A and B are shown apart, each in its own frame.
Chain A
Amino acid sequence: MAIFVDQNTKVIVQGLTGGQGKYHGLRNKAYGTQIVAGVTPGKGGTDVEGIPVYDSVAEAVKATGATASFVTVPPKAASAAILEAAGAGITFIVCITEGIPAQDEARTYNTLVRDFPKVRLLGPNCPGIISPGKCNIGITAGEIAQLPTAKGPNVGIVSRSGTLTYQALYELKQLGIGVSTCVGIGGDPVPGTSFIDCLREFQADPETHAIIMIGEIGGSAEEEAAEFIKANVTKPMSAYIAGVTAPAGKKMGHAGAIVSGGKGTAQGKMDALRAAGVLVGHNPTEAGSLMAGIVAGLS
């Protein structure tokens, strides 16, 4: 088991003929992901190293039976690409595009909620998702992810930041701890998938025995996650929140990482998570070693 994606997931790449799309799409395929088609309007009938390209998502879905899409198109085209995928029957959409206007994101998200309630969007502005050994959609380097073991204990990872996601995977690999699924939800103001969505799945996944959560300043997603954890998550957790020293009112690289009006501070988020029983580290390495302690207690 893993959450959201596994070895049976058939994936199309929207933007496969672009530089980024080709690079990451082929890497995902080389990892073992079932990349079954690409979509680029006007390039139907061609192929990218043997992967057939279609003009529309509908044609690609009809020909391949794909259920997931990897959207890697420029910000101007991303919203339309997401809605096209949803309209064509794709149920899991990973969008790595950075720089989509917040108004577009809000409209796209609410359109999905209303018209396509069964569709899950991961991102935008996220590194993607990897179920080690089974499926890798996005820009994560697959080799830094430790394979899960049949008897466990395995850890699920959910994170708002790309590099800190890799850091978490790497820490666990150094410690020899298997990963069930690692989900990067992205750093934008309106993420399609929240911490809570992932925590719910990890809690229900028999292959996941403990969870690492990596948050950052801005918004209230970590506080909401803490409330959810208190009420619903029985698996042990460690966490790290980036941005303790970030100055108020400045966007720290990610569009969503901003402390405004005294809200969204790292301290507030850490306090909320601690109150929910989560072990909170002061840096990513400490969150990893806290997890090592948890895992040692489980084995």
Chain B
Amino acid sequence: MDLFEYQGKQYFARYDIPVSKGDVAVTVDQAIAAADAAGYPVVVKAQVQVGGRGKAGGIKLANNADEVRTHAGNILGMDIKGHIVKRVWVENASDIAEEYYASFTLDRGAKKHLLMLSREGGVEIEVVAEKNPAAILMLHIDPVDGLPAAAAKKAAVDANIPEAAQQGVADILVQLYRCFVDGDCDLAEINPLILKPTGEVHALDAKVSLDENAEFRHPEWAEFQATVELDARELLAREKGLQYIGLDGTVGIIANGAGLAMSTLDVVNQVGGSAANFLDIGGGANADVMAGALEVINSDKNVKSIFINIFGGITRGDEVAKGIVEALGRVDLRAPIVIRLDGTNAAEGRDILKNAGIPESKLTSKSTMLEAAEAAVALAK
């Protein structure tokens, strides 16, 4: 789950990472109140999860309430690369002497935590990595050891952070690491991490991605969940507890298992079609789950055909077939189904479907994944 900047800053604040005084606003009046509280001058920042906000006019400096009114009025509702701005973050503007970069992620190859620290902040780290890789310090941290204060200080020195900022950067690294580990982040990034002319080090931006597997121990994440931007199909899927990702093709997909679902998308693409979604119904595909899945797909107006791809391992083909028959009784589908049922008890399952009296215009059965994909794509054209 990716957080908005303002949520990231609020999350940082929980771990004592210094951020600018500010507040989030959804109306112009709220923005002015936030600016009055933060103290002028302020920066009004569009809250969207896409890069290039500044260039698009989504970040503006305001010296007084009138300027906040103008800028917040322009930015709220603005379309930045297809993202509509619903909120602005208004914070006290900072004087900047230098800009650095700091982040923690999990390096999957090394199976260790990875600190990236650079003296060259304020630009995308990918750009620095390409143009001047020597300017980035990469330090692996054993999750069992963690990051002691002395190691953080050494990292700041090794990354050529100027002496005046070394201790401040090291302190923030320790706090950011605690946020990354205890806060169950997939990514905790500060860019830029600034040195003020007065000597303090401070997080001017926040990019945080949370590991949803850890949700059970973070009740405070509920408010972040509430602002996750989902389309209508994704909202319905979430209500039904399904693993669903909306795409923009015309073949609705239902498969059991994440790997098979991914593979189904690929095969549809391979035979010249495009998938409307990714949907994994998981191991035990009973009638309720199948009906829910069909309902979600049926709510997608782009769907012209539905490809159900089931491989019975633990899931038994006869149970899946019963589920489909029952689900068809509950959901009135707009698009025809092509099903490929294979694996454990597949023959029994196909018999159940055949004997259920479903007209062929509504459901056809194919014995291989490729044949089924071809049939589904043909129906979608």
Contact A245 B265 (CB under 8 A): yes
State the Cβ distance, A189 to closest chain B Cβ, in Å: 5
Contact B311 A255 (CB under 8 A): no
Contact B144 A253 (CB under 8 A): no
State the Cβ distance, B223 to closest chain A Cβ, in Å: 20
Stretch of A28-36, A203-211, A214-222 at the chain-chain interface: A214-222
Q: Cβ of B259: which chain A residues have Cβ within 8 Å of it? A: 159-165, 187, 214, 216, 242, 253-254
Interface size on A, residues (CB 8 A): 60
Instruction: Check if B263 is an interface residue, CB within 8 A of chain A.
Output: yes
Report B267-283 CB contacts with A as 1/0, cut-off 8 Å: 11110000100101001
Contact A219 B314 (CB under 8 A): no
Specify which of A107, A246, A282 is in contact with B262 (CB 8 Å cutoff): A246
Stretch of A1-9, A87-95, A96-104, A148-156 at the chain-chain interface: A96-104
Could you list 20 further interchain pairs (A-B, Cβ under 8 angstroms) beyond the known A163-B255, A282-B270?
A102-B186, A103-B143, A103-B211, A104-B214, A110-B111, A110-B142, A139-B313, A141-B344, A165-B313, A187-B259, A189-B106, A216-B262, A244-B266, A245-B266, A252-B258, A252-B278, A253-B258, A253-B261, A253-B278, A285-B368
Instruction: Check if A224 is an interface residue, CB within 8 A of chain B.
Output: yes
Instruction: Check if B247 is an interface residue, CB within 8 A of chain A.
Output: yes
Report A225-254 CB contacts with B as 1/0, cut-off 8 Å: 000000000000000101111110010111
Nearest CB to that of B113 among chain A residues?
A: A106
Nearest CB to that of B243 among chain A residues?
A: A253
- A96 to B259 CA separation, bound complex (whole angstroms): 16
Instruction: Check if A123 is an interface residue, CB within 8 A of chain B.
Output: no
Instruction: Check if A170 is an interface residue, CB within 8 A of chain B.
Output: yes
Q: Cβ of B181: which chain A residues have Cβ within 8 Å of it? A: 103
State the Cβ distance, B61 to closest chain A Cβ, in Å: 30
- A106 to B109 CA separation, bound complex (whole angstroms): 12
Q: Cβ of A114: which chain B residues have Cβ within 8 Å of it? A: 142, 144
- A259 to B41 CA separation, bound complex (whole angstroms): 40
Q: Cβ of A50: which chain B residues have Cβ within 8 Å of it? A: none
- 27 sample A-B contacts, Cβ–Cβ < 8 Å, listed by A number: A75-B216, A76-B217, A101-B184, A101-B213, A101-B214, A106-B106, A110-B144, A114-B142, A139-B313, A161-B259, A161-B260, A161-B262, A162-B257, A163-B313, A164-B260, A166-B312, A189-B106, A224-B109, A244-B265, A245-B265, A252-B245, A253-B258, A253-B280, A255-B211, A257-B262, A282-B270, A283-B266
Contact A245 B258 (CB under 8 A): no
Within 8 A of B (CB), among A138-193: 139-141, 143-144, 159-167, 170, 187, 189-190
User: With A76-B216, A252-B261 known to touch, is A139 a contact of B314 (CB < 8 Å)?
Assistant: yes
Contact A101 B370 (CB under 8 A): no
Max count, chain B CB within 10 A of own CB: residue among A220, A252, A256, A285: A252
Instruction: Check if B343 is an interface residue, CB within 8 A of chain A.
Output: yes
Max count, chain A CB within 10 A of own CB: residue among B258, B268, B269, B343: B258
- A111 to B146 CA separation, bound complex (whole angstroms): 12
Give 9 nearest A-B pairs by CB, closest first: A161-B259, A253-B258, A163-B257, A166-B313, A101-B214, A163-B260, A164-B259, A242-B262, A219-B108
Instruction: Check if B112 is an interface residue, CB within 8 A of chain A.
Output: yes
Max count, chain B CB within 10 A of own CB: residue among A102, A103, A246, A247: A103
Max count, chain A CB within 10 A of own CB: residue among B126, B267, B369: B267
Instruction: Check if A132 is an interface residue, CB within 8 A of chain B.
Output: no
Q: Which residues of B contact A (CB under 8 A)?
A: 106, 108-109, 111-113, 126, 142-144, 181, 184, 186, 211, 213-214, 216-217, 243, 245, 247, 255-263, 265-270, 275, 278, 280, 283, 311-314, 342-344, 368-370
Nearest CB to that of A114 among chain B residues?
A: B144
Specify which of A76, A256, A266 is in contact with B108 (CB 8 Å cutoff): A256
Contact B344 A110 (CB under 8 A): no
Report A244-283 CB contacts with B as 1/0, cut-off 8 Å: 1111001011111100010000100000000000000011
Specify which of A103, A254, A266 is in contact with B258 (CB 8 Å cutoff): A254
State the Cβ distance, A160 to closest chain B Cβ, in Å: 7
Nearest CB to that of B209 among chain A residues?
A: A260
Max count, chain A CB within 10 A of own CB: residue among B262, B283, B311, B370: B262
User: With A163-B311, A190-B106 known to touch, is A253 a contact of B263 (CB < 8 Å)?
Assistant: no
Nearest CB to that of B309 among chain A residues?
A: A163
- A214 to B283 CA separation, bound complex (whole angstroms): 19
Q: Cβ of B245: which chain A residues have Cβ within 8 Å of it? A: 247, 250, 252
Contact B213 A109 (CB under 8 A): no
Nearest CB to that of B187 among chain A residues?
A: A260
- A103 to B111 CA separation, bound complex (whole angstroms): 11
Q: Cβ of B343: which chain A residues have Cβ within 8 Å of it? A: 141, 144, 166-167, 170
User: With A106-B113, A170-B342 known to touch, is A284 a contact of B144 (CB < 8 Å)?
Assistant: no
- A282 to B343 CA separation, bound complex (whole angstroms): 20
Q: Cβ of A164: which chain B residues have Cβ within 8 Å of it? A: 257, 259-260, 263
State the Cβ distance, A286 to closest chain B Cβ, in Å: 9
Q: Cβ of B342: which chain A residues have Cβ within 8 Å of it? A: 167, 170
Nearest CB to that of B310 among chain A residues?
A: A163
Contact B108 A140 (CB under 8 A): no
Nearest CB to that of B270 among chain A residues?
A: A282
Contact B262 A110 (CB under 8 A): no
Contact B313 A284 (CB under 8 A): no
Contact A283 B267 (CB under 8 A): yes
Max count, chain A CB within 10 A of own CB: residue among B263, B270, B278: B263
